[in-house]
Copies of this chain bind each other. A is one copy, B any other.
Amino acid sequence: MRFFSHAALTALLLSLAATAFSADEDGYDLWLRYRPLERAAQQRIQVRSIVLPGAPSPTTDAALAELNKGLSGMTGRAPASAARISDGALLLATPARLPELAAAASPLRTELAALGDEGYLLRQARIQGRNVTLIAANSDIGLLYGAFAWLRETAAPAASRALAVSSAPKLQLRLLNHWDNLDRTVERGYAGQSIWDWWALPDIKDQRYTDYARANASLGINGTVLNNVNSKPEVLTAPFIAKAAAVADVLRPYGIKVYLSARFSTPLELHETATADPLAPEVQQWWRAKADEIYQAIPDFGGFLVKANSEGQPGPQDYHRTHADGANMLAAAVAPHKGIVMWRAFVYAPKGAHLADDRAKQAYEEFKPLDGKFAANVLVQVKNGAIDFQPREPFHPLFGAMPKTPLMMEFQITKEYLGYSTDLAYLGAMFEETLESDTKAAGTVAQTLSGMAGVANIGSDRNWAGSHFDQANWYAYGRLAWNPQAKSRDIAAEWAALTFSPDQRVAAPIVDMLMMSRETVVDYMTPLGLHHLMGTSHHHGPAPWVDNLERPDWNPVYYHRADRNGIGFNRTATGSSALQQYAPEIARQYADPRTTPEQLLLWFHHLPWDYAMPSGRTLWAELLARYDKGVAGTKSLHARWVVLKPLIDARRYTEVEQRLARQINNAILWRDASIAYFQSVSGLPLPPGVQAPAHPLSYYKALSYPYAPGRG
């Protein structure tokens, strides 16, 4: 008979666990994997007990459950909960729970005071004469955020070994927007169905709702809009309010408020009013009563998100009222309950109406004059750029231009225009680029914000995001919503360590892949400031030739304006003058192509094909070189992944590899089709060394993508 020591047994158990995990990771656990740590890392964890002074709450229950889950996973055992503070305790405390923290003499008192309702600090501390690991906050939700932060530090320790973290969110509103329909289709969703199973609710509450709450709370996301901005009246009927309330009950302990997208014409369409005019008393009364009804079911309901008078949605302009009239009417209904209204600035002229000469200008033209006219509980939600979530856009000119109105940033986490969930594109880099842009009017874009909304990439797919790497975009969005000045590379490093391995042989190359990925997509899809060249409706694949859609501004040719002489959209004073919507300093700088950032060149300028680029190449040659660079980038991504095979669990390795291989083909398709088309327009020969497209232009024009996903 053989014998095993306790240590050997533990090691064996952990290695078995590790083997099982590595053989079969499916991505469901996201960045909350809590896989067994290396022995040395385990030994650094000095937690012998967990102590929560005072009465538990649903939120502290969630924090303790997470700490248990995390420590069990990472060390093979969960420390007992204890009532008394002893050496080695992991202590969760607020000033209310532990009067020492509120004592004048406490060195932590001031620090805590600065952290607000949601902040937390992590510290090795001496409390009641004992050496403890302290998670301190002013509220239970701060403790939950702190617990997640401590687990993150433990699973993927920063270089510095001293535990001295203190953190508070810079934005009060950190939301996900689900473009999820009530039939569980998801507009621009590439990760399966909506996780909200409206049919099964309220009786059946999927385990996913809890895991969704955990994942979001781990990032500090504190609100979620459950349904699509292209909303339906039924979502505000009693059965659906009860369903939303059931979701709210699950999310509440995690500090996440539920919001709903409201269709402006709801009372009219439900035949409960004769109009939806925001100034009609019966309409105002209907919305007040509706708000009361909702708050009866969901006492902490967040409020409404509204897409009005845009892309066919109803709105106040149908009654010759302004966006402010509409928003303020709804705001009055939710104000008694401390609710808010998020009113989207993504508008463009209705079908059939007179089109502005440049769609990029419309939001600014409609909203800028309304600055100061919105009620106090209205926020205007502005997309990062003035067109529509392109691989690259300059920041939206409304940022910095509405000083009297709280603004929310709307980012799109789901990759409508950046390769769905099949192509790898790390959006952290893109979000950062927008957030750190200097408005030259009110600081950086980040500094103009009161909140942030991310159009979710979450679905029923086992890995939540449709691909493993797309989880990084959810993660990066959440971390940037907490701190819009964070660096996308740091976030990438954190994510890679948590999601794959803290082993730098794994994490470092993955960070490199992430950081190069978005620019790679820009290169093979829309280099040098080109935009909106994607296939009609599904937005997959290249279609720069499309010129026959009902609205001029749906056509790629409207945006690239390529002809025999040149390419690009002139938005200077000699063109659409959209540039004038920016602060004068920017407008001056960008008025000259020589001082316009190369990456935005054709966004602002129409230039001749032989325009001399800084590289010394002509614009034509530079454009071709960018496409080639994009293709090379996808090959590089694939090659970087393939060498990681021995270090990555088999399932995730394969799932990523298949996507990266497909991305190479997608990049080649974009390159070849774009070159074939632009050559047909420019009439220019390909410079020596540039490979001709594999097929004639007619081949690319004939490609179609029936049943492409994401149409909702």
Chain A residues proximal to chain B, CB less than 8 Å: 1-7, 9, 12-13, 16, 26, 181-185, 192-193, 198-200, 203-205, 207, 232, 234, 420, 422, 460-462, 651, 655, 658-659, 661-662, 665, 706-709, 711
Q: Which of B6, B16, B184 contacts A709 (CB 8 A)?
A: B184
Contact A460-B193, Cβ < 8 Å, known A9-B4, A204-B658:
yes
> How far apart are A244's CB and chain B's nearest CB, in angstroms?
14
Residues in B with CB closer than 8 Å to A16 are 13
A-B contacts, 8 listed (Cβ < 8 Å)? A1-B5, A3-B6, A199-B420, A199-B709, A203-B658, A203-B659, A204-B655, A460-B461
Complex Cα gap A706–B203 (Å): 17
Q: Which of B9, B205, B462, B707 meets A234, CB within 8 Å?
A: B707
From B460, B706, B707, B708, A460 is in contact (CB under 8 Å) with B460
A661 touches B203 (CB 8 A): yes
For A540, give the chain B residue with the smallest CB separation.
B199
Name the B residues within 8 Å of A1 (CB-CB): 5-7
Of all A-B residue pairs in the complex, the 9 with the closest CB atoms, nearest first, are A3-B3, A182-B707, A203-B662, A183-B707, A204-B658, A234-B706, A4-B4, A199-B709, A2-B6
Inside 8 A of A203's CB, which chain B residues have their CB? 658-659, 661-662, 665
Q: Would A199 and B707 count as touching, CB distance under 8 A?
A: yes
Q: Shortest beta-carbon distance, A77 to chain B, in Å?
A: 12
A63 to B111, CA, bound (A): 63
Q: Check B422–A204 contact: CB distance below 8 A.
A: yes
Asked whether B422 lies within 8 Å of A200 as measured between CB atoms, the reply is: yes
Is chain A's interface secondary structure helix, strand, loop, or mixed overall?
Answer: loop
Query: How far, in angstroms, from A711 to B205 measured CA to CA in the complex?
Result: 22
Q: With CB as the reference atom, state the residue of chain B lying closest to A7.
A: B1
Residues from chain B with a CB closer than 8 A to the CB of A665 are 203
Q: Can you add 9 more A-B contacts, CB < 8 Å, to A26-B207, A200-B422, A234-B706?
A: A3-B4, A4-B9, A9-B12, A13-B13, A181-B707, A183-B707, A193-B193, A203-B658, A203-B665
A13 to chain B, nearest CB (A): 7
How distant is the Cα of A199 from the Cα of B422 in the complex, in angstroms?
Answer: 10
**B residues near A184, Cβ cutoff 8 Å:** 707, 709
A7 — which chain B residues lie within 8 A by C-beta? 1
Taken together as a complex, chains A and B put the C-alpha atoms of A13 and B199 apart, in Å, by 41
Residues of B within 8 A of A207 (CB): 26, 651, 655
Instruction: Choose from B5, B199, B461, B462 the contact partner of A3 (Cβ within 8 Å).
Output: B5
Q: A2-B6, A13-B16, A706-B182 are in contact. Are A659 and B204 (CB under 8 A)?
A: yes
Min CB gap A412→B, angstroms: 19
How far apart sit A187 and B200, CA to CA, in the bound complex (Å)? 18
Shortest beta-carbon distance from A19 to chain B in Å: 11
Q: How far is the CB of A686 from chain B (nearest CB, A)?
A: 29
Chain B: minimal CB distance from A364 (Å): 36
Q: Which residues of B contact A708 (CB under 8 A)?
A: 199
Which of A16, A192, A422, A707 gathers most chain B CB within 10 Å? A707
Q: How far is the CA of A181 from the CA of B707 in the complex (A)?
A: 9
Nearest Cβ in chain B — how far from A532, in angstroms? 22
**Complex alpha-carbon distance, A9 and B262, angstroms:** 59
Chain B residues positioned under 8 Å from A659 (CB to CB): 203-204
User: What is the distance, in angstroms, from A617's C-beta to the closest C-beta of chain B?
Assistant: 34
Q: Taking the nearest CB of chain B, how far is it from the CB of A712, in angstroms?
A: 11
Q: What residue of chain B has the Cβ atom nearest to residue A661's Cβ?
A: B203
CA–CA, A81 and B13, complex, Å: 25
A332 to chain B, nearest CB (A): 28
Report the nearest B residue to A467, measured CB to CB. B204
Min Cβ gap A78→B in Å is: 13
